[in-house]
A = this chain, B = another copy of it.
Amino acid sequence: MPQPAVHITPDPTLRHRIADATLTVLGPDSRPLADVDVVVAQRRHRFLFGNIGFEFIPLANDEIGGGENESAYAGAPANQPAALAELWFDLFNAATLPFYWAGFEPTPGHPDTARLMRTAQWFNDRGVVVKGHPLVWHTLTAPWLLELTNEEIERAQRERIRRDVGGFAGVIDTWDAINEAVIMPVFDKEDNGITRICRANGRIATVRMAFEEARVANPRATLLLNDFDMSTAYECLIEGVLEAGIQVDVLGLQSHMHQGYWGEEKTLAILDRFSRYGLPIHFTESTLVSGHLMPPEVEDLNDYQVESWPSTPEGEERQADEIVRHYRTLLSHPSVEGVTYWGIADAGSWLGAPCGLVRADGTPKPSYEALRSLVKGEWWLPPTTLRTDDAGRVRLSGFLGDYEVSSGSGSARFELAQAGEVACEVRLSLPAA
């Protein structure tokens, strides 16, 4: 049942994301390491700094040259893939992988499971959390659904969710359970099986189908309701879904800003409206272009087709400025637990827009450096030498996440899991010989 509305106040100082820790460092013998220098360093953000990982499927699968078997929205061709991956991993800790049904299972019964599994594991191996996107969506859904009756479509959709969520459990434990349900039953750009069943069954029944199948297939999964519609329509859908008793773990808000950065005021107003359900929020699809803006009169971004959409020096400065403002604003709101930027490279980007953080030639744009100066600069504790007191204690402040402390006596990992004053204790271990 729905919670009473909550009111959450943003804090630009980000105190809600910072722990002020008293860390007691014990030696391998479990006695406090008094009056010694230790080095403390952050290893990982708890906050999900995400990006799509579509373009690394060929690299993760050792497909030299890639390109043969790419899904729709496949991202950049795999030139310089290793260098691009290095830039990716230096900034992001969460990847969204494509499970668009059209590309994932073009022929019924022949899903692209093996390649996606290798890709997801490749990310996991590098400490990256993976989300599958999306389980139910009307766009890019399997065209062969059109041959089926509504009952058969629903059965195929349910089986697909069970198969994929169950099959990837432990490797992918986060899913966009359903995408864009607000427009789903009245989507009129093209006939498709998902709009058909959503129109027949209703939005809430379709959302329930997505969540209940995914939940059964992987009870530990984090399941998102995701939409681009920031109007009251999405609020009304959310309220109906919660009233219907469907357990939504995270609200996903898209923010493709091809027509211009929203600005702080609009972003905070949206956060105010959508945070009142007391659910965590992910900004699931954020885009800022480093070229000209898409004209404001375009309603469906997909309708904007241009020969060439170059990244420009002025556009790159603007994008860098805006990405900093965007992330500062989002992190200022305590409900936001993750932001996924939509694409690292311009090459192969959605709509051909220069929305990447890396140019087509592989060099980072100012936006990459600007975002890195936050994520791995202002919001990051680099290796820092601290002196323990006579009880083996050091004081440190840092963003929530995983840390390492080391000295001549060994090292240990610890987590800052809670904002404000905390106390923790670690025992150093000698590195394996």
Contacts and interface: CB of A to CB of B under 8 A. Distances in A.
Interface in A243-273: 243-244, 273
Contacts of A234: 236
A204 B276 contact: no
A15 interface: no
A71 B268 CA distance: 38
Contact of A236 (B2, B4, B5, B203): B203
Most buried by B among A203, A229, A240, A273: A240
A308 interface: no
A233 interface: yes
Interface of A is mostly: helix
Question: What interface size band does chain A fall in?
Answer: 20 to 34
Contacts of A204: 2, 239-240, 243
Nearest to A5: B200
A186 B234 CA distance: 13
Given A199-B5, A200-B4, A202-B2, A244 B240 contact: yes
Contacts of A302: none
A235 B204 CA distance: 11
Copies in the complex: 2
A241 to B, nearest CB: 7
A232 interface: yes
24 contacts: A2-B202, A4-B200, A4-B201, A5-B185, A5-B199, A5-B200, A5-B201, A182-B232, A183-B232, A185-B235, A186-B273, A202-B243, A203-B236, A203-B239, A204-B239, A204-B240, A231-B231, A231-B233, A233-B233, A233-B236, A236-B240, A240-B243, A243-B243, A244-B244
A60 interface: no
A243 B241 CA distance: 9
A217 interface: no
Contacts of A244: 240, 243-244
A14 interface: no
Interface in A215-246: 229, 231-237, 239-244
Nearest to A244: B243
A182 B242 CA distance: 16
Interface string A411-432: 0000000000000000000000
Lowest 9 CB-CB distances: which A-B pairs, in order?
Answer: A240-B240, A233-B233, A236-B236, A236-B237, A232-B233, A243-B244, A204-B243, A5-B200, A202-B239
A232 B235 contact: no
A269 to B, nearest CB: 9
A261 B229 CA distance: 27
A244 B202 CA distance: 13
Given A5-B202, A237-B240, 15 more contacts: A2-B204, A4-B201, A5-B185, A185-B235, A186-B232, A199-B276, A202-B242, A203-B235, A204-B239, A231-B231, A233-B235, A236-B237, A236-B240, A237-B239, A239-B240
Interface string A184-217: 0110000000000001111111000000000000
